[in-house]
Amino acid sequence: MQKINTQEEWIDRAKAVLPAAGFGNFDPSIILKRGQGSRVWDENGNEFVDLLIGSGPMLLGHGHPEVQEAIYRQISDGLTFFTNNAAGIELAEVICDAMPCAEKVRYVTSGSEADMYAMRLARAFTGRQKILKFEGGYHGMSAEAQMSLAPTLRQNFPIAVPDSGGIPDSVQADILVAPFNDIEFLTSIISEFEHQIAGVIVEPLQRLIPPAPGFLETLRDLCTKANIVLIFDEIVTGFRLAYGGAQEAYGVVPDLCTVGKIVGGGFPLAALAGRTEIMTHFDKSSVANERWLMQLGTLSGNPLASIAGLKTLEILRREGSYDLLRNHGQRLMEMNRQALDATGIPYRIVGEPPLFDVVFTDQPVTNYRDHQEENTIRNQTFNHALRSQGILKFPGKVYSSLALTEDDFSVIGSALDVAAKSLI
């Protein structure tokens, strides 16, 4: 009989072969074995209500029967081809129908790739070099993206701070950094560097922080006037805040957007989408050699991922899907309020119903530096208590999903009461 490994044994094996004993994503002491609907189980059989949902992709829950059926049909027809495939073409049509900015689509396999190529595409299109991003904004793992994502050093704007070793100094020189939601600074920096800036990349909902009234509209106007490519990083918000993403929810249309997570239905798939005149720079026959953007990937547009994405988006288009998703999120927000109000401890709930979290501060949270003022001890205590009560979430996010049930809300409510009391 084959020996059954405990979670502790798997952790020991991970320490032998993985740096820091993990994949670099999440707490390596959690080793999940399976998921079904709104629940996941670790290798020891411990059950959790899943508010992590794979860091966002599993909006329908785990093992959705319609998605599984579509995947099983495709498996028998082939896993990957490298060539075009019908499912990938159809998914591109769906993305173009959904996202207001999308006229053409190019596939990659991760959000990091999508954001990297989006910035490179802005440079190819404009012939300029600099990229403007916002402090605390997450745009993947490229050298440009790893500037002022989570800086411990508070440098004066617009100087970028590297977040990783191995980044050349030359990259830092071409990245400008601004505070999110600061219209006055944004206007000033674009005025100063407008002829050097190729693109502005922004999470319309920056991690959890919503845009201030008029911020995205001003950004759109400034980019239009200066012929700067406006890039919405919708890896997280695409098909989550609304079917058409943040650009639909907030009513501001960028020149390019990146989408991922939900669009692959749980498989590695992401994409860039945008205006034809910009996306044409992927077509070598249509632009000068120095303006052509080379891009290819072995698994880009993979048929299995495309099939899973197509079925996921079909389900999301059904009447009432987004009403239910927002209702679930609003209910989770209110449950957090009820549990924490009784403690008298200062906190803010930051975000939108499909994606939010509690921030332990008595001040408004409008940018990265505001968020850094959080009482981290309370955050850690609260999240540790939730984990102990069977709730799996990222330390800084609550992802709602369509799979949540009344039993889940009951478990979450009890867990929140315990977690709130642990703070007193």
Q: Which residues are catalytic?
A: 138, 233, 261
**N-terminal to C-terminal alpha carbon distance within the chain:** 49
Contact (CB, 8 A) for 325 and 353: yes
Give the 3-state DSSP-derived string for the chain, with helices as H, strands as E and coil as C: CCCCCCHHHHHHHHHHHCHHHCCCCCCCCCCEEEEEECEEEECCCCEEEECCHHHCCCCCCECCHHHHHHHHHHHCCCCCCCCCCHHHHHHHHHHHHHCCCCCEEEEECCHHHHHHHHHHHHHHHHCCCEEEEECCCCCCCCCCCCECCCCCCCCCCCCCCECCCCCCHHHHHCEEEECCCCHHHHHHHHHHHCCCEEEEEECCCECCECCCCCHHHHHHHHHHHHCCEEEEEECCCECCCECCHHHHHHCCCCCEEEECHHHHCCCCCEEEEECHHHHHHHCCCCCCHHHCCCCCCCCCCCHHHHHHHHHHHHHHCCCCHHHHHHHHHHHHHHHHHHHHHCCCCCCEEEEECCEEEEECCCCCCCCHHHHCCCCHHHHHHHHHHHHHCCEECECCEEECCCCCCHHHHHHHHHHHHHHHHCCC
